[in-house]
């Protein structure tokens, strides 16, 4: 399996896994500093278009990271219980698990399968925070509210940023609680969940401050930490 993946000693192999459409390809583009609209990057789209695992070198000079875009888990093509083995996830140094909605059974199946492999670092990431927060804010605002409508009254408009802050915090808290609850049920240790969106991820990679940012900088730092640690250990 290592040969199939072109596993190279001295490099850190990072698999990005998750359900179909969770944002895996977009995430790999962003961490490689490519916009999701870039014509050459990992494929991105609303249908499940990634059929095989795809390997991407990291374009940064002297980078020791290699990214792998792993097809969607939890699809009829690859059932949950088979995903870890079929995809050869056991060869990776780090697995980034993206979820865009509920913390799915497929995610728990991967975590369970990873448990005996102490050398695999698993990072849990909740993607598309921007989409979720916006949807929630719009639900809480008066019907037909449109922040870009010039006729909207000042009082209603002033509610918008406030609701956004509230929903953002609620989303962060609920995401973490939900994941910890599932982990506890499975007798797995508690784990941090990084709440991100792709625009803020790309901005953070390019050292630009984004108003949408939540855990993107922490996630990047922690990935860098894992890479440094592994390289020091002589991987």
Footprint of ligand GTP (CB under 6 A): 18, 20-26, 36, 44-46, 48-50, 72, 127-128, 130-131, 197-198
d(CA 123, CA 98): 9
Give the count of residues interacting with Mg ion (CB under 5 A). Answer: 3
Torsion on CA atoms 132, 72, 215, 207, rounded to nearest 10: -110
d(CA 207, CA 211): 13
Judged by beta carbon distances under 5 to 8 A according to partner kind, the member of Mg ion, ligand GTP, none in contact with residue 46 is: ligand GTP
Judged by beta carbon distances under 5 to 8 A according to partner kind, the member of Mg ion, ligand GTP, none in contact with residue 107 is: none
Residues in CB range of 197: below 8 A, 6 or more apart: 127, 128, 129, 130, 131, 212, 214, 216
- Min dist CB 197 to Mg ion, Å, is 16
Among 12, 17, 18, 25, binds Mg ion (CB under 5 A): 25
50 counts as binding Mg ion under rule CB under 5 A: yes
Choose between 48 and 139: whose C-beta lies nearer to ligand GTP. 48
Q: Count how many Cα atoms sit within 13 Å of the Cα of residue 184 in the half-sphere of its side chain.
A: 6
Judged by beta carbon distances under 5 to 8 A according to partner kind, the member of ligand GTP, Mg ion, none in contact with residue 48 is: ligand GTP
Give contact residues for Mg ion (rule: CB under 5 A).
24-25, 50
């Amino acid at each position: 399996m290592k040969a199939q993946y072109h596993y190279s000693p001295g490099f850190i192999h990072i698999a990005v896994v998750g359900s179909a459409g969770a944002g895996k390809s977009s995430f790999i583009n962003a961490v490689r500093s490519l916009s999701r609209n870039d014509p050459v990057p990992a494929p991105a789209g609303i249908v499940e278009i990634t059929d095989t695992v795809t390997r991407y070198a990291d374009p940064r000079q002297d980078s020791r990271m290699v990214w792998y875009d792993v097809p969607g888990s939890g699809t009829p093509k690859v059932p949950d219980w088979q995903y870890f083995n079929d995809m050869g996830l056991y060869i990776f140094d780090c697995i980034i698990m993206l979820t865009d909605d509920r913390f799915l059974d497929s995610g728990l199946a991967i975590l369970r399968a990873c448990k005996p492999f102490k050398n695999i670092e698993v990072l849990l990431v909740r993607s598309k925070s921007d989409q979720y927060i916006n949807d929630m804010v719009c639900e809480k605002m008066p019907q037909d509210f449109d922040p870009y409508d010039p006729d909207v009254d000042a009082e209603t408009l002033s509610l918008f940023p406030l609701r956004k802050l509230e929903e953002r915090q609620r989303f962060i808290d609920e995401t973490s609680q939900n994941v910890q609850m599932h982990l506890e049920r499975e007798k797995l240790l508690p784990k941090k969940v990084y709440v991100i969106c792709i625009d803020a991820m790309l901005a953070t990679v390019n050292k630009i401050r984004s108003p949408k940012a939540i855990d993107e900088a922490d996630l990047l730092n922690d990935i860098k930490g894992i890479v440094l640690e592994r390289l020091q250990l002589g991987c």
